[in-house]
Amino acid sequence: MLIRFVTNAAVISAHTSRRASFDGSMRTRVNSDRASGPRRILAVAFFVMFLLMQVAVPLFQLTQPRPARFGWQMFSTLRADALGVSYHIEAAGGELIPVQLSAHFARVRLEIDHRTVLPPYLCEVTPGAAAVIFERGGTTTGRYPCP
Amino acid sequence: MPVRAFFDRLLRSAAPARPLAIARIVVAGVALAKAADLAPALFNLSGGEVIRLPYWGGAPDISMGMAWLLVSCWAAAGVGLLLGWRTRWTGAVLVAVMVAVLLLDQQLYSNHFYLLILLCLLLTIADSGAALSLDARRAGERETVPAWPVTLLKLQLSIVYGFAVFAKLNLFYISGAVLDVYWTRQGLYAMPDALRRMEVLFVLAAISLLAEAILAMAMWHRRTRHTAFVIGLGLHLAIIATMGPTWELTLFAFMMFGLYLLFLDATPRSRLVVWDDQCAFCRRWVMSFRRLDWLRVHRFVGSSDSSILTEAGVTREAADTAIQLVGGHDRRASGFAAVRSILEHLPASFLWAPILRLPPIEWLGDRAYRNVGARRSCEVPIRVKT
C-alpha cells in the first residue's frame, strides 16, 4: 500500500511558490525542481512514516506501565509503587542513613523505576553499606541486600 | 483514488510562510532555554556524581569535554535557527545535537524535550527560514512554503493533546488523585485543604480532560478555532500557575502557542481594513495594528481613497464613522467587531482576543467604541502612506 502511495505521488505535478521582495512587489514562479519525482517520493514517504510513528508509538505506550516515554502521558497518573516511598541506606552497624533522590539522580523522572535502579547504585557508591531499605509511611516495604 | 487525491492536494498546496517563521522563532527560543535547563544535568552526569542510566550497554561515557561540546553546539545552532541563518543546516545540527543528548541517558528525557526535537525537525524540513530570517533577507522573502510539513506540525499538536487525554483515562487521574498530588500547596495558587475533596478534584480533572480533548480537535474547524485558542491559553496558564516545574511548563506552553499560530487563517493581505485617514486618533490605532501585523494579513487603506471604497463596497459615510474590515472569514465587520477581528489575527493578541466576543464584553466594547468614535479628535488632517 505504501509503495503505491509513493509511486502515485511521483506523478504529482509542480506547485507554485510566491516570492515577495522587500518593497512588497510580488512575483510568482513555478517551482519545477521541487516538483520532481524523488523529492515528492521523499515527501510522501516522510509524511506517512512520521505520522505512523507518531500514532503507533503512543498507542503502544498506552499498553505499557505509565508514565511511559514517547507517549505524551504528562501528569497522567501516579506511580503507585513509587508514591510516598523513601529510601535509607543501612550501614554495617545497622544505622539508617536517609537518601535524597535528587542527590543521586541528574533529574528525578517518574518514567524511571527507582526501586530497580537505585539500590545497586547506592550499594556501589556507599562504602560499608549493608542494604538499601524502602519505606512507606514509616513501614519497611522492602530490603535490597548489598552484595 | 481518494488517497492519491489526498496526497496530490497536500503536496500541491502551500501555506503562509510568516506563521511558520514566527513558530520557528518561538521554538528556537525554547530550544535555547532548554539548553540552559538541561546543561546542569548534563554536567552532573559528566562529573560522575550521579547515577548513569544509559538506554543500552554500549552507550559512551559523558566526559566534561563532551558535555561542553554538546551544549556549545546546541546554543550555536539554536541561535542560528532563531535568526534563520542557513536555517536548514542550523536546524539539522540542532536536531542532531538534541537527539544525541536525549539518547545519552534516560534521565534527560522529558515529554517537552521530545516534543521540542520533533518540532525542530519539522521546522527544518518545512523551510521555516523562508520569512523573517537572515536567509530571507539575503535571498528574498517567500510568501508561501509547502503545506505538508506545516500539516504535520499541526497534526503533532492534535497528537500531543489527544494522547494526553487517552493516557489520562485512568482511575488515578479521573478520581483527582493526580491533581491532588501535583497541585501546588504553597503560594497564590495553592488549593486550600478544604477544597481538596474528591468531588472538587473530580470536576477539575474532568474539566482538564475536556479542555485537552477540545484542543485536539477544535483547532481544525474555523468556527471553533478561536474558542480553542482561549481554552488553550487558559489551560496552559492554569497548569503553569498550579503545577511544577514552572519553567519547563512555561516552555511547553510556548511551544504549543507557536503551533496554535499555524492554525490561524493568515493568507497574506487577505483582509482589507478601511479607516478614516483624516483622523489623528484613528491613525495612532492603525499604526499600532500595522506594526503588530507581523503576518501581513491586513491591508490598511485610508477612506480618502475612493477607488478602494468602491473595491471594498464600503460607503464613505460608513468608513468615516467606524473602521471597516472586509475579507477573511468574517467577510465584513465594522467598529468594535472589526477591531476584535483584527486583534484575532495578530500574533501578539490572537490567543486572548476571542474573549472580546463574550456577550457582556462585546456589548461594553461596542458602546465604548461608539462613545470614543463620537468624541475622537479629528481636527488635524494627516496624509498616511497606505
If DSSP states are collapsed to H, E and C, what string results for A19-77? EECCCCCEEEEECCCCCCHHHHHHHHHHHHHHHHHHHHHHHHHCCCCCCCCCCCCCCCC
How far B380 CA lies from chain A's nearest CA (Å)?
A: 29
- pLDDT band at B221; cut points 50, 70, 90: very high
Q: Which residue of B has its CA nearest to A79?
A: B172
Phi, psi of A135 (to 5 degrees): -130, 145
pLDDT at A141: 81
For residue A7, is pLDDT > 50?
A: no
For residue B322, is pLDDT > 60?
A: yes
Mean pLDDT of B54-70: 90
Contact A62 B155 (CB under 8 A): no
pLDDT at A82: 63
Q: Hey, of A16, A33, A75, A105, which one would you mutate to test binding to chain B, going by the most B CBs within 10 A of its CB?
A: A75
Q: Which residue of A has its CA nearest to B145?
A: A17
pLDDT at B81: 97
For residue A13, is pLDDT > 70?
A: no
- pLDDT band at A80; cut points 50, 70, 90: low
Set of chain B residues whose Cβ sits within 8 Å of the Cβ of A63: none
Q: How many CB pairs under 8 A join A and B?
A: 151
User: Taking each helix axis from N to C terminus, what angle separates B2-12 and B147-168, rounded to the nearest 10 degrees?
Assistant: 120
Residues 6+ apart with CB under 8 A from B343: B349, B350, B353, B356
For residue B229, is pLDDT > 70?
A: yes
pLDDT in tens, A59-79: 999 999 888 999 999 988 887
pLDDT at A86: 85
How far B95 CA lies from chain A's nearest CA (Å)?
A: 15
Flag the least confident range among A109-118, B87-96, B238-247, B377-386. Answer: B377-386
Q: Give the amino acid at B86.
A: R
- Quote the Cα angle for B362-B364-B366, to 5°: 65
β-bridge partners, A72 = none
Query: From the list B12, B141, B151, which residue is nearest A20 (CB)?
Result: B141
For residue A116, is pLDDT > 80?
A: yes
Q: Which residue of B has its CA nearest to A107?
A: B107
For residue A17, is pLDDT > 70?
A: no
pLDDT at A110: 85
- Tell me which of B235 and B184 has the higher pLDDT: B235
- Pick from B189-198, B209-218, B269-278 the range whose average pLDDT is largest: B209-218
- pLDDT band at A83; cut points 50, 70, 90: low
pLDDT in tens, B65-120: 999 999 999 999 999 999 999 999 999 999 999 999 999 999 999 999 999 999 99
Q: Give the amino acid at B38.
A: L
Mean pLDDT of B222-245: 93
Distance, CA of B200 to CA of B188 (rounded, Å): 19
- pLDDT band at B4; cut points 50, 70, 90: confident
Mean pLDDT of B352-364: 93
Which of A42, A20, A21, A43 has its CA nearest to residue B144?
Answer: A20
- Pick from A78-82, B133-137, B376-380, B381-385 the range whose average pLDDT is largest: B133-137
- pLDDT band at A6; cut points 50, 70, 90: very low
Q: Give the amino acid at B175.
A: S
Neighbours of A108 (CB within 10 A): 12
- pTM score: 0.88
| Under 8 Å between Cβ of B74 and B31 | yes
- pLDDT band at B385; cut points 50, 70, 90: low
Can you read off the three cell numbers belonging to residue B72? Answer: 556549545
pLDDT at B336: 92
Distance, CA of B95 to CA of A139 (rounded, Å): 46
- pLDDT band at A47; cut points 50, 70, 90: very high
For residue B252, is pLDDT > 60?
A: yes
Q: Which residue of B has its CA nearest to A101?
A: B50
